[in-house]
């Protein structure tokens, strides 16, 4: 019999359902902490009552030899609670580490918080509003960002909650275990409609999830209806070309600006000598505010995209940039640049428009 069954954690009616891999263990730890608190409260209150009764006024109890020091008792009430506290600490730290360490095989889902709704982007292009649809039995990584104020993405049934910040990505992960519909909340006061910034997590069996993914164009509709446009990479490539990234950031335009091919995850040296890693946060900042940190060897000529791209578009753009590889710099071939998924990007047009009309600084 496991500890969870022993303390009956599965029989407590007012707990949210346990629908993720770490929900049960978190509940057990919570209940053990709670039971220990009750136990020690009980001991203290019971002794208070008993001693108050024994030594009540006018009782005949022996008061002639009051105890001033008792090393045995003092050591016991110091060491036992300390050991129990350490057990809770180590146990809690392990669970915390498990909850934050995203497994390598986790699939990514993007969460954008905004006043006052949740927007979800799946890498295959499906978009959802205030609904998150996932299958059981597969780990998912949530990459979250806010487009205005601080929100907090909270799924009680999964026992996960992560702050969603403007200007910086945060992440969380889970693996759902139990099909069903669960609550999704914003757990950070974010303005007038905060309490209505809620939604539904729709956990499907792997088969239902596959049907949900495939439903575009099929007669059979699976709730909630999936809205799919292009994949994030395809949308990102379109943005890459339409907003002008491709004018300066392909391997054959490198005299003007660093190539974005194979940049993802690389170490970059800035003009001020600082070495930064080209991760999500770095790339996002350098798209929106490119002149704050300029790569060594280049001029600050890139236009500022802050306000011109939504967080969803940045997510797609980063998906595309990530798809350009992380290791080898592809070489320009005969004025045409081949990219990973086999499509060909035409060589850059004159970048004059960007430089002269919008100019860096």
| CA-CA-CA-CA torsion sign (173, 176, 177, 180) | positive
Residue number, 111 or 354, with CB nearest to ligand CUA: 111
161: Cβ contacts below 8 Å, ≥ 6 apart: 152, 153, 154, 155, 172, 187
Among 126, 184, 186, 226, binds ligand CUA (CB under 6 A): 186
Q: Is 159 in the site for ligand CUA (CB under 6 A)?
A: no
Q: Other C-beta atoms within 10 Å of 137: how many?
A: 12
Q: Which of 23, 32, 135, 151 binds ligand CUA (CB under 6 A)?
A: 151
With H, G, I as helix, E, B as strand and everything else as coil, classify residue 302. coil
Instruction: Tell me the closest approach of the beta carbon of residue 197 to ligand CUA, in angstroms.
Output: 4
Least Cβ distance, residue 186 to ligand CUA (angstroms): 3
Residues that bind ligand CUA (rule: CB under 6 A) add up to a total of 9
Q: Is 155 in the site for ligand CUA (CB under 6 A)?
A: no
Asked if 188 is part of the footprint of ligand CUA (rule: CB under 6 A), the reply reads yes
Contact pattern from residue 98 through residue 117 relative to ligand CUA, giving x for each residue in contact according to CB under 6 A and a dash for the rest: ---------------x--x-
Residue 192 vs 356, nearer CB to ligand CUA: 192
**Interaction pattern, residues 62-101, with ligand CUA; x per rule: CB under 6 A:** ----------------------------------------
Q: Which stretch binds ligand CUA (CB under 6 A): 98-106, 183-191, 202-210, 222-230?
A: 183-191
**Closer Cβ to ligand CUA, 146 or 301, answer by number:** 146
Does 175 help bind ligand CUA (rule: CB under 6 A)? no
Helix (H) or strand (E) run with residue 113 in it: strand 107-114
Looking at beta carbons only, is 127 or 161 nearer to ligand CUA?
161
Among left, alpha and beta (phi > 0; psi -120 to 50; other), residue 167 is left
122 strand-pairing partners = 109
Q: Does 26 bind ligand CUA (CB under 6 A)?
A: no
Of the candidate spans 36-44, 59-67, 130-138, 188-196, the one that interacts with ligand CUA by CB under 6 A turns out to be 188-196
φ, ψ of residue 226 to 5 degrees: the values are -85, 135
Cα-based distances in Å from 145 to 154, 171, 251, 255, 322? 14, 9, 30, 33, 18
Does residue 190 interact with ligand CUA by CB under 6 A? yes
Q: Which is nearer to ligand CUA, 190 or 287 (CB)?
A: 190
Q: Does 172 engage in binding with ligand CUA (CB under 6 A)? A: no
The pair of structure tokens assigned to 95 is 């669970």
Binding of residue 322 to ligand CUA (CB under 6 A): no
What 259-265 contacts at long range (C-beta under 8 Å, 24+ apart), as own/partner pairs, is: 259/329, 260/321, 260/324, 261/324, 261/325, 261/329, 261/330, 261/337, 261/339, 262/324, 262/325, 262/326, 262/327, 262/328, 262/329, 262/330, 263/321, 263/324, 264/321, 264/322, 264/324, 264/325, 264/326, 265/326
Strand residue runs (E) in 117-207: 117-122, 126-129, 131-135, 139-146, 151-155, 160-164, 170-175, 180-186, 199-204
Please say which residue, 10 or 148, places its beta carbon nearer to ligand CUA: 148
Window 197-236: residues binding ligand CUA (CB under 6 A): 197
Using CB under 6 A, pick the residue from 122, 159, 194, 322 that binds ligand CUA: 194
The token pair at 143 is 């990459």
Q: Which residues sit at the interface with ligand CUA, rule CB under 6 A?
A: 113, 116, 151, 186, 188-190, 194, 197
């Amino acid at each position: 019999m496991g500890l969870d069954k022993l303390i009956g954690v599965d029989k407590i009616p007012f707990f949210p359902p346990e629908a993720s891999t770490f929900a049960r263990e978190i509940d057990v730890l919570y209940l053990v902490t709670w039971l220990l608190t009750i136990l020690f409260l009980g001991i203290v209150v019971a002794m208070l009552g008993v001693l108050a009764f024994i030594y009540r006024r006018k009782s005949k109890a022996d008061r002639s030899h009051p105890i001033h020091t008792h090393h045995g008792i003092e050591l016991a009430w110091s060491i036992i609670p300390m050991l129990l506290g350490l057990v809770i600490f180590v146990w809690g730290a392990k669970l915390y580490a498990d909850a934050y360490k995203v497994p390598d095989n986790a699939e990514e889902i993007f969460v954008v918080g905004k006043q006052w709704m949740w927007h979800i982007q799946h890498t295959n292009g499906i978009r959802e509003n205030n609904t998150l649809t996932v299958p059981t039995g597969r780990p998912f990584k949530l990459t979250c960002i806010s487009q205005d104020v601080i929100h907090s993405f909270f799924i009680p049934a999964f026992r996960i909650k992560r702050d969603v910040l403007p200007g910086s990505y945060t992440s969380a992960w889970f693996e759902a275990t139990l099909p069903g519909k669960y609550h999704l909340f914003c757990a950070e006061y974010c303005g007038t409609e905060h309490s209505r910034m809620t939604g539904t997590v729709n956990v499907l069996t792997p088969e239902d999830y596959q049907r949900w993914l495939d439903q575009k164009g099929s007669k059979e509709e699976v709730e909630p209806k999936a809205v799919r446009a292009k994949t994030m990479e395809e949308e990102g490539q379109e943005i890459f070309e339409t907003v002008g990234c491709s004018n300066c950031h392909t391997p054959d335009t490198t005299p003007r600006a660093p190539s974005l091919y194979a940049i993802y995850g690389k170490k970059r040296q800035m003009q001020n000598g600082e070495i930064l890693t080209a991760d999500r946060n770095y790339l996002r900042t350098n798209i929106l505010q490119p002149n704050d940190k300029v790569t060594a060897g280049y001029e600050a000529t890139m236009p500022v995209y802050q306000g011109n791209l939504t967080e969803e578009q940045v997510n797609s753009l980063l998906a595309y940039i990530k798809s350009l590889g992380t290791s080898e710099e592809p070489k320009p071939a005969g004025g045409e640049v081949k990219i990973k998924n086999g499509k060909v990007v035409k060589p850059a047009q004159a970048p004059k428009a960007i430089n002269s009309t919008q100019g860096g600084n």
